[in-house]
Structure 1
Amino acid sequence: MYLEHINLVVADIEAMLKFYRAAFPHWHVRDEGQGEWNGKPRRWIHFGDDHHYIALSDHGEGANRRLEGHSVGLAHFAYVTNNIEAVTARLNDAGYPIAKPGATEPFRKNVYFIDPAGFEVEFVEYLSDIPAERNFNQESQR
């Protein structure tokens, strides 16, 4: 089993595409269309590759949850990369600063960005194929 897609309701699809194209330059718009959601028109797209994608719909209203708060909702989602420096450089070059550096861990590197809709996205590079090392957390060892 694996996660095929995540469906995000946003206000501006084009702004989201700018961010995710920088993160995933090999992804493309797989499908798109228009429809209605509970009486409100919306445009939607599926942006990804042959195996995974992000579904975006532009009928969003209001602001995303405050990430520093305690509201129920999505905290973040993460993607594994084999080159975190390249992802970070592409996002920085596209104008997206690092929102939060990851923890210093011996078997992984990670970094957090905030996409244009206010979703926190983590990118992680594992430095080991051993599950116990990949899941190692120095904080839990203290």
Structure 2
Amino acid sequence: MYLEHVNLVVDDVEAMLHFYKAAFPYWSIRSQGEGQWHGKPRKWLHFGDDFQYLALSDHGEQHNRDITGHQVGLAHFAYVTNNIAAVISRLESAGYSIDKPGAVNPFRKNVYFIDPAGFEVEFVEYLSDIPSERNNDL
């Protein structure tokens, strides 16, 4: 079993595409359309590869939850990469800055960015194949 997609309600799909195209240059729009969601018009699209994607729809109102606070809701989601330096470089070149660096750990490197909708996204590169090392709390 694996996670296939995450569905994010946002107010600006194009801004989200700009961020995620920089992070995942090999992903593409898999499908898209328009419709109604509980009486409100929306545009939606699926951006990803053959195995996973982000579902984005533009009918969002208000702001995302304050990720520095303690409200219930999504804290962050993470993607594993085999080249974190390249991800950082692509995102910074696209105009995004690191929100916070990950903790120093001999078995992984990680970094956090905030996407245009205010979701915190972690990128992690593991430096070990041993699960107990990859998942340690050093």
TM-score by length of 1: 0.97
SS of corresponding position for 2:91: helix
Aligned-residue CA RMSD in angstroms? 0.3
Secondary structure in structure 2 of the residue aligned to 1:66: coil
For the pair 1:31 / 2:31, whether they are aligned, the reply is: yes
Pairs within 5 Å for 1:91-102:
91-102=91-102
| Matches of 1:36 and 1:75, distance apart in 2 | 28
Aligned counterparts of 2:78 and 2:100: Cα–Cα separation in 1: 13
SS in 1 for 2:96: coil
Identity of aligned residues (%): 73
The aligned residue for residue 6 of structure 1 is: 6
Alignment match, 2:113: 113
Which amino acid is the alignment partner of residue 118 of structure 1? G
Q: Which runs of 5+ in 2 are unaligned?
A: none
1:128 matched residue in structure 2: 128
Equivalent AA in structure 1 for residue 18 of structure 2: K
| 1:50, distance to aligned residue in structure 2 (A) | 0.3
Which consecutive aligned stretches of 4+ in structure 1 deviate over 4 angstroms post-superposition? none
What does 1:11-90 align with in structure 2 at a 5 Å threshold?
A: 11-90=11-90
What is the number of residues matched between the two proteins?
Answer: 138
**Whole-Å separation in 1 of the counterparts to 2:4 and 2:25:** 18
Q: Distance in 1 between matches of 2:137 and 2:111?
A: 15
Unpaired runs of at least 5, structure 1:
none
State the 1:6 CA deviation: 0.1
Task: Provide the rounded CA distance (Å) in 1 between the counterparts of 2:135 and 2:38.
Answer: 42
1:3-53 CA distance string (max 9 Å, x none): 000000000000000000000000000000001000000000000000000
Question: Could you tell me how far apart the structure 2 residues matched to 1:36 and 1:85 are?
Answer: 40
> Secondary structure of 1:97's match?
coil
Using the size of structure 2 for normalisation, the TM-score is 1.00
Q: Give the Cα separation in 2 of the matches to 1:105 and 1:45.
A: 37
Alpha-carbon separation, structure 2, partners of 1:52 and 1:37: 23
